[in-house]
Amino acid sequence: MPDQFPSRTYSELNIFFSHFDLVSKLDETLGTGFNNLEKGLDDIYLREIVKENVQILSNPLSINLLIEAVADPREFYDKKESVGDAVKYLNNFLRYDGYKLIYEGECYRVKEWKDGELVK
């Protein structure tokens, strides 16, 4: 994961994705649990979990909610990473699809962005 984001443990990823009705298939697949994986396999399985869960999110609204949750300033409290750096990183990718994270109220929201302007 890029340095702009706080790292998450397996348990934290499960909790995070559960907010989007996504369930990790790791324990079902292995039957033994994440903590019994050999060193190095844990990262491979974490990537697979994320990959499977992101594939489940085919609804654009769900994707927006996921992106907004990743950029939630509360996730950065007491962390060395900066929410501003994370938003900048995400916006580098979102711009290709015509979107941008905009600070609104107390958090960031995904908004349609065209020709350097917010689309209403």
3-state secondary structure 48-60: HHHHHHHHHCCCH
Cβ distance 68 to 110 under 8 Å?
A: yes
List, for residues 4-60, the tens digit of each pLDDT value.
Answer: 777 878 778 777 877 776 655 545 544 444 555 555 666 677 777 677 767 777 667
Is residue 3 predicted with pLDDT exceeding 90?
no
Rounded CA separation 71/97 (Å): 18
pLDDT in tens, 73-93: 998 888 888 899 999 999 999
pTM of the model: 0.64
pLDDT of 21: 66
**What is the enclosing helix (H) or strand (E) of 111?**
strand 107-114
**Strand ordering across the sheet containing 99-104:** 99-104, 107-114, 117-118
Amino acid at 109: R
| 97 vs 28, residue with greater confidence | 97
